[in-house]
Amino acid sequence: MTLADLIGSRLRDVPDFPAPGIVFKDITPLLRDGAALGAVVRELAARHTGTVDVVAGVEARGFILGAGVAHELGLGFVPVRKAGKLPGDVLAHHYDLEYGSATIEVHADSFTPGQRVLLVDDVLATGGTAAAAHDLIERAGGRVVSMAFLVELAFLGGRDRLAGRSIDSLYLVP
């Protein structure tokens, strides 16, 4: 079985969640399968060995995968959180989602200047979250060298929105 086949077999489509018309890609079947979770984390890490200094992940599912990838690479992890969760001085970015809108924040002292950052999230949909996180990390002094996703919903055009940036997805939904 290929990694893409394994991922596909561990995703659950949930229609009309969290809003009518959205087909939610539920990754919890993959997360609870140790072999599948390990394979995904190892592959994401292998693709970025030696090219990044720190891993950042977007709340909440990006924390799970991102922390695993950081651990696998022997690197640290920076959480990109929803508004109001981080206790220190923060930088914030407001953006639109496939469903609704949101504000994300990072601690202002998260990165050393020019630090090479791998940004990890579970799903690339419209690209709004990744674009916001990318801009936020760069405002905080980090340099996003790549953005890695478990699933890319290609029909939503996130890759076009992120044009010019390095994007890496393990499983493509055309």
Site for ligand AMP contains 117 (CB under 6 A): no
Residue 147's closest CA among 60, 71, 79, 52? Answer: 52
**With CB under 6 A, what is the number of residues at the site for ligand AMP?**
20
Per CB under 6 A, contacts with ligand AMP among 3-42 are 22-25
Enclosing H/E stretch for 6: helix 3-9
* Beta bridge partner(s), residue 106: 91
Asked about 98 being catalytic, the answer comes back as yes
**Interface residue with ligand AMP, options 94, 97, 109, 112 (CB under 6 A):** 97
CA end-to-end span of the chain: 20
**Interface residue with ligand AMP, options 66, 68, 79, 158 (CB under 6 A):** 158
Site for ligand AMP contains 122 (CB under 6 A): yes
**Interface residue with ligand AMP, options 124, 137, 148, 150 (CB under 6 A):** 124
Site for ligand AMP contains 66 (CB under 6 A): no
Asked about 61 being catalytic, the answer comes back as yes
Cα 51 to Cα 54, 98, 116, 132, 158, distances in angstroms: 10, 31, 7, 22, 23
Q: Which is nearer to ligand AMP, 4 or 60 (CB)?
A: 60
Cα 78 to Cα 73, 105, 112, 133, distances in angstroms: 14, 11, 12, 11
Site for ligand AMP contains 56 (CB under 6 A): no
Amino acid type, 84? G
Q: Which is nearer to ligand AMP, 57 or 142 (CB)?
A: 57
Q: Least distance to ligand AMP from the beta carbon of 10, Å?
A: 14
Pairwise CA distance, residues 164 & 174, whole Å: 20
Selected catalytic residue, list 61, 72, 81, 152: 61
CA 73 to chain centre: 16
Site for ligand AMP contains 125 (CB under 6 A): yes
Task: Give the residues lining the site for ligand AMP (CB under 6 A).
Answer: 22-25, 58, 61, 97-98, 121-130, 153, 158
Catalytic residues: 61, 98
